Amino acid sequence: MSRPPRPLLITMGDAAGIGPEIIAKAFCAAPQELAGCVVVGDTATLRRAAALVAFQSGKPALPVAQLGALDAWQSVPANCMGVLQKCALPVPPPFGRISGLSGQAAADCIVWAARTVLAGQAAAMVTAPIHKEALLAAGGWAARFPGHTEMLQAEAANFLGKPANLVPVRMMLANQELKTVLVSIHLSLRNAIEAVTYDNVLQTLRIAHRAVAAGQARLPRIAVAGLNPHAGEGGRFGTEEQAIIAPAIAAAVKEGIDAHGPFAPDTVFMRARNTPAKPGEFDVVVAMYHDQGLIPVKYLGVEQGVNVTLGLPLVRTSPDHGTAFDIAGTAKADASSLLAAIRMARTWPAEPLR
């Protein structure tokens, strides 16, 4: 694989989690695919990760070169990790422990990478997992954001000179068999139910349609999951389908969006699943809340799942798993989802500035 004209940035994630380890494993396992990738993080933490991977494999440690500037990415030799030091960590933190220092370091790397991609100096960004409690422990501006998605939305809004609510974003989780886009993201279940409004559902359909259509030659077929069991069973188990979701679907159809439903949540994902033996009926499923949409995709295989943030004027992907503090430092982490995220970041179409 030839080097791209601009680098692809990988943020380190929480230094106490498996992010640095899976980054090092990806560089070792697929050096050609990692050509042109630059890690934004803490050099000492990434060298510790490279040493951990080397100890596990019995091979020499992956060289880790600290770059003085982004422009130096083209001079990084093959089979070497180039790192831009864009956070402050006195020493690599203990594995598996929540720390405000680690949370702040992760946030600093995300913001620097986002601003660099928005400025056109990098092609896309891939984010290793962060810990939401560590962000909260960091305090200050980092504590305002429950996760990557909201932080990137704020950066995009600032870049575009708009309030954040005018830069609507959505989470899509995807693998080779299923894509699902969420109406709400990091909310309690009670608040997520309240977020199922006509405007939010219609906006999600628009964002999903625009994003998926950009990557294929035909208009995407979108299935919409209901909120309640059996999609409300005609109002017997809830009225949200009749009063909110169905009218939003009808409005989307009038706009030329190929949307269908609402369908029973317990079967719609099976109908959309695409396999060699049975092509899916739909290209993407719009789910009403976080776990409704993410459980089916993750059940099909965490190792291939990719999180894509839709609605941003930049390409951002990430693995579909978390920091895995319970196995951090054991060299057991699997880099497959990170590699899938890197592949998707190279091919996913960037959305135009709005």
Q: Are residues 86 and 206 in the same domain?
A: no
Is pLDDT above 90 for 268?
A: yes
Is pLDDT above 80 for 2?
A: no
**Which pLDDT belongs to residue 3?**
46
Mean pLDDT of 42-52: 97
Q: Are residues 53 and 191 in the same domain?
A: no
Q: Are residues 244 and 118 in the same domain?
A: no
pLDDT in tens, 271-312: 999 998 999 999 999 999 999 999 999 888 767 889 999 999
Instruction: Give the pair of three-digit tokens for residue 274.
Output: 């695409």
Q: What contacts 24+ positions apart, CB below 8 Å, involve 87-92?
A: 87/12, 87/41, 87/42, 89/15, 89/42, 89/44, 89/45, 91/44, 92/15, 92/42, 92/44, 92/45, 92/48
CATH code of residue 126: 3.40.718.10
Q: Is residue 40 part of a domain?
A: yes
Mean pLDDT of 153-158: 95
Q: Is residue 337 part of a domain?
A: yes
Q: Are residues 211 and 257 in the same domain?
A: yes
Per-residue pLDDT band for 354 (boundaries 50, 70, 90) equals low
**Which pLDDT belongs to residue 171?**
93
Instruction: Give the pair of three-digit tokens for residue 80.
Output: 């070497």
Q: Is residue 308 part of a domain?
A: no
Q: Are residues 15 and 145 in the same domain?
A: yes
Q: What angle do CA 79, 81, 82 make, to 5 degrees?
A: 130
Q: Is residue 306 part of a domain?
A: no
**Which pLDDT belongs to residue 217?**
73
What range does the domain containing 258 cover? 176-300
Q: Are residues 328 and 211 in the same domain?
A: no
Q: Are residues 215 and 343 in the same domain?
A: no
Per-residue pLDDT band for 160 (boundaries 50, 70, 90) equals very high
Instruction: Of 83, 86, 67, give the one whose Cα is nearest residue 20.
Output: 83
Is pLDDT above 50 for 98?
A: yes
Q: Are residues 105 and 242 in the same domain?
A: no
Is pLDDT above 80 for 353?
A: no
Is pLDDT above 70 for 318?
A: yes
Number of structural domains, the chain? 2
- 0.85 exceeded by pTM: yes
pLDDT in tens, 197-234: 999 999 999 999 999 998 777 899 999 999 999 998 88
Q: Are residues 290 and 322 in the same domain?
A: no
Mean pLDDT of 326-350: 93
Q: Is residue 77 part of a domain?
A: yes
Q: Are residues 191 and 285 in the same domain?
A: yes
Q: Is residue 48 part of a domain?
A: yes
Instruction: Please give the span between the terminal C-alpha atoms of the chain, in angstroms, as a whole number.
Output: 32
Amino acid at 3: R
Per-residue pLDDT band for 352 (boundaries 50, 70, 90) equals low
Q: Are residues 2 and 56 in the same domain?
A: yes
User: Among 278, 300, 322, where does a domain finish?
Assistant: 300
Is pLDDT above 70 for 1?
A: no
User: Among 257, 273, 300, where does a domain finish?
Assistant: 300
User: Among 260, 278, 300, where does a domain finish?
Assistant: 300
Q: Are residues 125 and 247 in the same domain?
A: no
What is d(CA 274, CA 282) in angstroms, rounded to the nearest whole number? 8
